[in-house]
Amino acid sequence: MGIETNKWGFRVGRLPHGPRNKISDVPGVTVGHCTLADGNVQTGVTALLPHPGDVFHDKVLAASHVINGFGKTTGLVQIDELGTLETPILFTNTLSVGTVETALVKYMLQHNPDICETTGSVNPVVCECNDSGLNDIRGLHVTEEHVFAALADCRADFAEGAVGAGRGMRCHGLKGGIGSASRQVELDGKTYTIGALVLSNHAVFDDLVVAGTPIQTLLDAKIPPHEDKGSIITVLATDIPLSERQLRRLCHRALVGLSRTGSYCGNGSGEIVIAFTTANRMPHYADTAILPMAILHDDAINPLFRAVAECVEESVLSSLLHAETVTGNHGRTVRCLTELLEQ
């Protein structure tokens, strides 16, 4: 259900969204979760597949942008240098990045026997946020099996909120996690899609803006004071034929959506953005030195910037509205936005 049609009457932006209003409205993109929810353990893994084929041998053009670099994401250096994504994108908590990266490497080796045999290495991409407030993060509860479970769970109609890597996350002092949205734009008489997926764990309650309205004007509830020490990971996907440079320009516009929800990107907050297009592929092996590739004219890119801003704004709100109140480590409880709205 999109924000524009929910029972609270919130509407974000003016562009139409896809049938699911999720990043999976971009054909071929799927998302899966493995959620750990047991007392002090409130964490998990989320996986995003760029397309249903062999991503290593059929890479997608990609780019990244670091808004604020307080984070431990892996794989960005090669994305920025080569402009391609060659593995699924995985999300987890900060201290589980190593475990998840190893599992992703094993997954890629299982599917690609040529890696480090007859061809080069692989660039695993793993993103993180710190869920230590609700989760016993020091317990290192995420295992390789959880990664494989998330990858096996990938589907178009995936869950949002306090699921997968989002289980222990807090957004604007409320329960956050996984959120997603999509927007459609028309180019040369054809409809294309831009989608966003966020792992929200950032910002403070007093700054939260819901569809243009400061949340404090809607709620009588008060949230204990807290610092902006969290992070948010944003992934953008599209089926529009773009270059790596143009994808990076889309990454820059994610900040507009974050700002519209009240984020100021604090010193201890990590804001990382990754974007890819399924329309332009880079084969791992090629028979010719020159490859044909379509590209958008820069004069036509403005609607895409608006779509990114709307997608990211709605994805943050969707992560809040789909979440549930969670009690975790040391008995800490983080309440969800819907519970407060219904009071």
Give me the active site residues, please: 231, 269, 271
In eight-state DSSP terms, residue 43 is E
Q: Report the chain's C-alpha Rg in angstroms.
A: 19
Sorted by sequence, the CB contacts under 8 Å of residue 85 that are 6+ apart come out as 50, 55, 59, 60, 61, 62, 79, 125, 274, 276
One-letter amino acid at 214 equals P
Residue 100 main-chain phi, psi, to 5 deg: -70, -40
Q: How many CB atoms lie within 10 A of CB 21?
A: 23
Closest CA to 108 of 153, 147, 73: 147
Q: What token pair was written down for 133?
A: 């407030």
Q: What token pair was written down for 303?
A: 């609607």
How far apart are alpha carbons 248 and 260 in whole angstroms?
20
Three-state DSSP class for residue 47: strand
Cβ(203)–Cβ(263) under 8 Å? yes
Cβ(131)–Cβ(142) under 8 Å? no
E strands within 83-189? 84-85, 89-93, 125-129, 170-171, 174-175, 177-187
Cβ(236)–Cβ(196) under 8 Å? yes
How far apart, in Å, are the Cα atoms of 175 and each of 183, 197, 203?
A: 25, 16, 12
Q: Which residues of 156-175 are buried (b: 16+ CB within 10 A; e: fewer)?
A: bebbbbbbbbbbbbbbbbbb
How far apart are alpha carbons 73 and 268 in whole angstroms?
15
Q: Which helix (H) or strand (E) holds 335?
A: none
